[in-house]
Amino acid sequence: MCFNTTISIDSIDSIDVCDPCYSSLSTQDKIDYHIFIKLVITTSKDTQRFLDHPNRHIVNEIDFNEPFFLFAPEEGTRDVLLVNFNTLPNTIHKLSCEVNSDQRIIGTVPSSLRELHLRHIWDEDREYLEFNSMFIDHLLSNIPPTLEVLTLPGNFSSRMTECVLPTTLYDFRYRTIPPNLSKLRVPTNKVYSGCYLSTNRYLKKRWLESRTWITGIILGNYDYLEASKPIPSQVRRLELIKIYGASEDDPPPPLILVPGWLHNNITYLSIDDLNSELEFGILPEYLETLKIEIYNVPLKPHLLPNTLKYLCLSSYDQPFFVKDSLPASLTRLELPSFKGSFEQLHPLPSLTRLYINEMNQSITTIIPTVKIIYIKLRSFENNQVTLQPTVLHHLEFQTYNKSELKPGFLPSSIRSLVLKNCIVESTGIIVDGCASIRSDIKIDPEFLPHSVKFITLSPISIFS
């Protein structure tokens, strides 16, 4: 049986044709194996259809991605929306929904709920402003005793004097300012990696050290002149962002990193726009994730720590990587602007996810022994590339635009495929030996070898 799996149902009408392997699962099976059968609902009409469906128990995850999912205008008002949670079945384990400040609530969420994710409905005129919500305050006052995961909108500010988090909660995601975090009462010895302190001023060390459950910081407009002020040792995740003023005459300070400022306890580092070159002694020794939105300076050999697993350089567009500039520890590499060569690099044997602008033959240099990989491209115009020098068993391949695959692209070792925006219009493309294919574009069976036993046509989102 699969573990930690989400199966999306396309529509309410698809509930009855859900794969028997999943529709036959008991409620306890779904809990034990962390399996979610997900349905997205966008209209109040579909909400009622779901509630009336005889097999609604199959679904244990609902995403209401419109603000009116269970809403009706409150009597005597025009703008306030009334939310009735009493109608939700007690078989729901995961609930996601959009919220704003104009909602009122009846009832409580199902006691079966394990995950609750709340998103703010963005208003362009008030996008970065704090908002209050009776809806969220009511939910926080009635948290189910089984809740394990909770996500709150970052700009939400509770009117409650305090909010007590349950002991069952192990994953809490809330990126907000100190006054909002001060209202939280957290069980002893809890640490939440998804909880971030967001501030545009330098950290009050004593305040943070009294809240050991906070290990993430979002620091706006960091000034390198403040580098003499150390980052508290409890911080594991750090995001450095630029916040622009109302006019071009009010730019943020340049983001320049100096050696020794980032301590070695930091394992996650995200930077908006780096105005200095990465040098030895800047990056933490045990860093596992590095994301830089704007940085296009060649990486030096052995500069990146050998503990790094996830590297994302969004604007990196150098002609090639020099030898030993990427560590063999990488499992995920995102270079959405990169069109260059990997030819000088050693193999990256642990790589499982690769996102680049376009692909050339040098890709086989870094994945010669990889057996499972997810590849996403912005462009696949150079579709003469072949993966035959590799030993891939499972490939998930996605292109931004529809692209035609050519014979010789896939290695003979392929046993299973997931394809998004990929067109197969002749024989010899899918190799003999491939047993299963999932695609978002229909493939004529006459173009498939006899070895293919399973083929699924469904919407696909490969890279998350």
Q: What is the pLDDT of residue 435?
A: 95
Q: What is the pLDDT of residue 245?
A: 65
Q: What element of type H or E holds 116?
A: strand 115-120
Q: CA quadruple 287, 293, 294, 300: dihedral positive or negative?
A: positive
Q: What is the pLDDT of residue 228?
A: 62
C-alpha to C-alpha distance for 269 and 237, rounded to whole angstroms: 6
Task: Identify any residues that bridge with 394 across adjacent strands, giving them in sequence order.
Answer: 372, 416
Q: From first to last of the 464 residues of the chain, give the pLDDT tens digit.
A: 567 788 888 788 878 766 666 667 888 888 888 889 999 888 778 888 888 899 898 999 999 876 544 444 445 444 445 667 888 889 999 999 888 766 677 778 889 999 999 988 764 444 456 888 888 898 899 898 889 999 999 888 889 999 999 999 999 999 998 999 999 999 999 999 999 998 876 667 788 888 999 999 998 877 665 666 778 899 999 999 887 766 666 777 778 888 888 999 999 999 998 888 999 999 999 999 999 999 999 999 999 999 999 999 999 999 999 999 999 999 999 999 999 999 999 999 999 999 999 999 999 999 999 999 999 998 887 678 999 999 999 999 999 889 999 999 999 999 999 999 999 999 999 999 999 999 989 999 999 999 999 888 876 665 54
Q: What is the pLDDT of residue 22?
A: 65
Q: CA quadruple 23, 420, 12, 116: dihedral positive or negative?
A: positive
- Please measure the distance between the N-terminal and C-terminal CA atoms of the chain and give it in whole angstroms: 23
Catalogue the E-assigned strands of 244-393.
Answer: 268-273, 289-294, 310-313, 332-335, 353-358, 372-379
Q: Is 445 helix (H, G, I), strand (E, B) or coil?
A: helix
